[in-house]
Structure 1
Amino acid sequence: MKNHLILFSLIGLALSSSLLNDEFKEKMKELNEKISSSLISNTEEKKFVDDKIEEIEVNKTKIVSTDGSPIVDDDGGYTGPYSKEFYEGDILLTKEQLNTIVSDTRSKRQVQWNSYYPNNIWKGSPIPYSFDRNFPSNKIPSVRAAIKFWESQTCVRFIENGNGRARVRFINGNGCYAMIGKTGGEQVISIGYGCDWIGTIAHEIEHTLGVWHTQARYDRGNYVSINAWNVLPNQMYNFNTQSQSYTNLFGIPYEFGSVMHYAENDFARDRSRPTIVARNGYERFQHSMSNYLPTFYDIKLINTYYKCYDACPRKITCSNGGLQDVNNCNRCKCPSGFSGTYCESISTSGCDRILTIGSSPTNITATAGWSGLYSVTYNECALHLKPATRGRRLEVTVTTGSGMSSWNCYGAGVDVRMAADPAMTGIRICRPNTRFQPIVSDSDRMVLNLFSRINYVSFTFTARMI
């Protein structure tokens, strides 16, 4: 991710790198100084962050290895799909966007909603895309899988090698990056080293569809605090926020587990300490920021922004957090583990099952994936827990066994969904041979969603009704 180019304006063409470097660096320096001054000077926030980090460090000591070895924070040096050279790590800005952001440091939005709308969304015909002649053939299946994912979940369509002035070209650049929304000419999505798996590609495509990062929302201060004192000095601009007057969130809740959310230690001086700290009441999401795939709410955001639901003349009511299927208006799209025309049923096919939990501890073992699995997409399994007495809550203690562990659970893991909203992502766990602290549900249901695309993940858990 050492590319210094910004793709300018509606023609989508790169000017000379030296000119762009000078202008980019000067603008980013100006923005960095504004954001740094705003964040670093907040002494009250500094005390809050210091206290929270102390809590985080104490909680880490409560995570116990089952084989007696010490628990060590180790992400293998992986820094995520973000670069220190681009705005917010993976965004190429048009000249207009760059100037607007620098002149008004609050001008970003969850989705583009400005004077260019609706010309900056891809609407009315499939999005033409192609692969650069130097694009590695072994990455093409992952790109096609990410495109298929968005087509299966939304009304947005793509056409490979299609015609059109506005188009997308996938390149094998230095890292992962894209532009925000339609610029009017050819624009690129880079799928470089370490980017060629479906989650990252889907993330970059969502940028191209017009979406910014979650933690840049104007309301982020209600959910997270930025540990500016651990952010790399010249990377403060990556933690800019939006202005409410330029924003349309479409009623989408703040989701720590969104595929568009930064991980907790992105752009950190010391990666063992967070740059994003969950606020009071949201501490359980501290280690579950970002995601391995677009979430149910990521999908809803695109369908709302692109007015996909308007194509269904007859509206239907869905259960269990489901939403009308924009590709089949007579049925609902369901959160993981739910099924039926209206998401009224709990899926019990394959490894999906329902477990009734009483007051006495129940011990269960479950596995997703298999040894030797290496897939572009994910093998998933949902376990539904319900209390023997309606209205009671559930407590689950998870112990992982052998299996795949990867940075932020991108290879395999368990998503413990404990919120009353079944569509909301939960706490992700994937560290092998580890016993975690008990997780308590918000209501009388809990879903454990296992997922794997590399080998397998296995775990045992002890559940009880409380």
Structure 2
Amino acid sequence: MRVIVWLLILPLSNSFPIVTEELFDHSGERPPQTHTQSLSQFTRLYDTLSVLVKDEYKNTIIAHSDEEFRIDYEIKNTNESLNIADFNANNSIKGELFQGDIRISVTQLEKIIDGLINDDEEINGSGIEEDGNDYTDNDIIHRRKRRQTIKGIDVKWSEGVPYSFHPLLSLKARNLIQDAIHFWETETCIQFRPRFFESQYLYFIAADGCWSTYGVISHEIGHALGLFHEQSRYDRDNHISLDPLRVQLGYIFQFSKIPASQLSTYNLPYDVGSIMHYAPNEFSSFSFMPALSARDPFLQQSMGQLGGPSFLDVAILNIHYDCRMKCPVKIPCSNSGYQDARDCTRCKCPSGFGGVDCRDIESPTIIKCGGVLNATVSPRQLTVNIKANIMRTTERRCIYHIVAPQNSVKIEIKVIEIDGTCQYGCWKEGMEIKTQSDPRPVGYRFCCIRQNKTTIISYRHRIPLMVYSRGKNTRTVIHYRYLRDSENEEMSSGETINRTMNYSNEELNGDLRRGDRVSMLLNNKTEVDEHFRKRRDTKWKYEDEEEFVTEDRPL
């Protein structure tokens, strides 16, 4: 049988997507059934899902801020609001697709609905009870009970992933697909190989627009390896809000959740910046009026990125495929990193962190564009300008860590100027700041002019900051400082404060080995105070005629 990885078309299984007998037989052909019959079954089941979602959100009223409207309008005017569902808008079988890009069997869809309804009786493929009576809206709503555990089949590619290309697939598309395959293979313990005679394999066929971006390809291969959409997690309402009034008529079912019986999160945190997450405007009535809003408003522009898989996208597959078993001798990792199954002597680190054990700064892709920035009580200004270079197709990154002199103080960052490519996900040109309590999810991203004058205050004494570009000019100006104890007490309750974890003195000592190469004993307060006193008057500037200009100076 074949898994056809056609733009946004993938089979799905209980906990993770995989080829199933319901979708294809061993000859590679579908079970005998007319397209009209199949579409009729999906229509009935999607109608049931629509009822469930409408009932869950029937009393939901979302208060959208003026700032959100201004940013959405700016994105509309840049023509950068395209999302994955848009690629599939003209697909001939779009009526059968689950959540816009997953080819699912009737049986699998029934299991999802059964888990959501929590009914003791089963629903057959026609959406009709076994006694032949149609479900009504009230039947579906009132028969909901507490979720029960339904044991699904734990599926994975146990012997590697064979794949094959359609003969008409272009060379450019093949190269992009190979890049995405190479990423998943090097970042996990999953093995890919060209298909010979295997009956189960990935099949990439020729389709307009399907393979136009590395991010879209990575997203679709992610489904084939076992990933659902991030926003379909059963705990999503703790992190994002759905405005049902903004959803396209007849498409509310695309926002259904996956019940716990059909989904494994492995206790990993929710990631708004996952490559598997819907864009805010996915299935929205208007491209500039998002149906999804992050509960933390600073995360709104991190949603819907198509730059590539996030740290957590990779982590969950490493867990699912038991990659940690490849390393018999375990090593410790800092900052929520974990052992690399491809190199057991090193750790895989969240973005912004690097080194053997994730205690250093991630190496920038632009030489000398990064390092440690020691915050002082007086504001300092950091300016980073990555110059346009259309010949560079890969991401260029400057990476800094803003560090305060004591573990207990707060750091204030003001975004003075941001000039990037304004789009959902801010994945082309922009800046990312990580001040959350957990360093693993994607942080706050900035790429729109209307995000200027934003102030972020963090309890973390070390903040990773990344400025990046995929070809165009990117300019970022921020002011940063640490707050005195008296200022901490006077902070108004209206400010957004991101409580984050503290780091030990030993960890911070390790981090200061990079950047401007400051070396000091943090348990000696006199040395620390003297160092930061001198720092107030220092200024440095790096410039590369072809790559970047960066400057750090006191105000």
Query: TM-score band (shorter)?
Result: 0.7 to 0.9
Residue 434 of structure 1, CA deviation: 5.8
Matched, 1:212 2:221: no
Residue 284 of structure 1, CA deviation: 2.3
Higher strand proportion: 1
Counterparts of 1:323 and 1:162, CA distance in 2: 35
Counterparts of 2:8 and 2:29, CA distance in 1: 12
Residue 103 of structure 1, CA deviation: 4.7
2:186 is matched with which residue?
Answer: 152
* Contact 2:408-2:459 within 8 A present in 1 as well: no
* Contact 1:315-1:324 within 8 A present in 2 as well: yes
Matched, 1:222 2:225: no
Aligned residue identity for 1:334: C
1:396 is matched with which residue?
Answer: 413
1:354 is matched with which residue?
Answer: 372
- When structure 1 is superposed on structure 2, of 195-204 and 129-138 the one drifting more is 195-204
Residue 208 of structure 1, CA deviation: 0.2
Matched, 1:81 2:118: no
Matched, 1:382 2:399: yes
Instruction: Determine which of 443, 446, 456 is the counterpart of 1:426.
Output: 443
- Residues 392-433 of structure 1: CA deviation (Å, up to 9, x unaligned): 222222244555445532322222211132222111112258
Matched, 1:90 2:101: yes
1:57 is matched with which residue?
Answer: 66
Counterparts of 1:39 and 1:98, CA distance in 2: 15
* Contact 1:75-1:407 within 8 A present in 2 as well: no
CA pair 276-221 structure 1, distance change in 2 beyond 3 A: same
* Contact 2:24-2:31 within 8 A present in 1 as well: no
The secondary structure found in structure 2 opposite 1:463 is strand
Counterparts of 1:145 and 1:152, CA distance in 2: 11
- Percent identical among aligned pairs is 27
1:290 is matched with which residue?
Answer: 304
Matched, 1:122 2:133: no
The secondary structure found in structure 2 opposite 1:372 is coil
1:317 is matched with which residue?
Answer: 332
Aligned residue identity for 1:379: R
CA pair 17-450 structure 1, distance change in 2 beyond 3 A: farther
Aligned pairs (5 A) from 1:162-241: 162-173=196-207, 192-193=208-209, 195-241=211-257
Counterparts of 1:301 and 1:386, CA distance in 2: 30
Aligned pairs (5 A) from 1:336-355: 336-347=351-362, 350=367, 351-355=369-373
2:432 is matched with which residue?
Answer: 415
CA pair 428-194 structure 1, distance change in 2 beyond 3 A: farther
1:372 is matched with which residue?
Answer: 390
CA pair 457-4 structure 1, distance change in 2 beyond 3 A: closer
Aligned pairs (5 A) from 1:301-312: 301-312=316-327
2:166 is matched with which residue?
Answer: 132
Residue 455 of structure 1, CA deviation: 2.7
1:181 is matched with which residue?
Answer: none
Matched, 1:326 2:341: yes
* Contact 2:354-2:363 within 8 A present in 1 as well: no
- When structure 1 is superposed on structure 2, of 454-463 and 132-141 the one drifting more is 454-463
The secondary structure found in structure 2 opposite 1:74 is helix
1:257 is matched with which residue?
Answer: 273
Counterparts of 1:116 and 1:410, CA distance in 2: 35
TM-score (norm 2): 0.69
1:269 is matched with which residue?
Answer: 285
- Residues 301-348 of structure 1: CA deviation (Å, up to 9, x unaligned): 000001111121122110122110010112111223323221222246
Matched, 1:29 2:43: yes
The secondary structure found in structure 2 opposite 1:408 is coil
Counterparts of 1:369 and 1:151, CA distance in 2: 32
Counterparts of 1:130 and 1:2, CA distance in 2: 15
Residue 215 of structure 1, CA deviation: 0.9
Counterparts of 1:366 and 1:106, CA distance in 2: 52
Aligned residue identity for 1:269: S
Structure 1 gap ranges (5+): 64-69, 108-112, 174-191
Matched, 1:455 2:472: yes
Counterparts of 1:38 and 1:3, CA distance in 2: 24
Residue 371 of structure 1, CA deviation: 2.2
Residue 151 of structure 1, CA deviation: 1.2
Residue 122 of structure 1, CA deviation: 0.8
Counterparts of 1:277 and 1:240, CA distance in 2: 16
- Residues 55-79 of structure 1: CA deviation (Å, up to 9, x unaligned): x225556x7xxxxxx9564352743
**What do you get for the CA RMSD once the two structures are aligned?**
3.1
TM-score (norm 1): 0.82
Structure 2 gap ranges (5+): 1-5, 12-18, 119-149, 484-555
- Residues 188-233 of structure 1: CA deviation (Å, up to 9, x unaligned): xxxx416422221111111000111011111112222221111112
Counterparts of 1:240 and 1:432, CA distance in 2: 34
The secondary structure found in structure 2 opposite 1:208 is helix
Q: Hey, which bits of structure 1, 4+ residues long, moved more than 6 A?
A: 1-7
- Residues 251-304 of structure 1: CA deviation (Å, up to 9, x unaligned): 11111111111111210012322211333xx23222321332211111110000
CA pair 340-411 structure 1, distance change in 2 beyond 3 A: closer
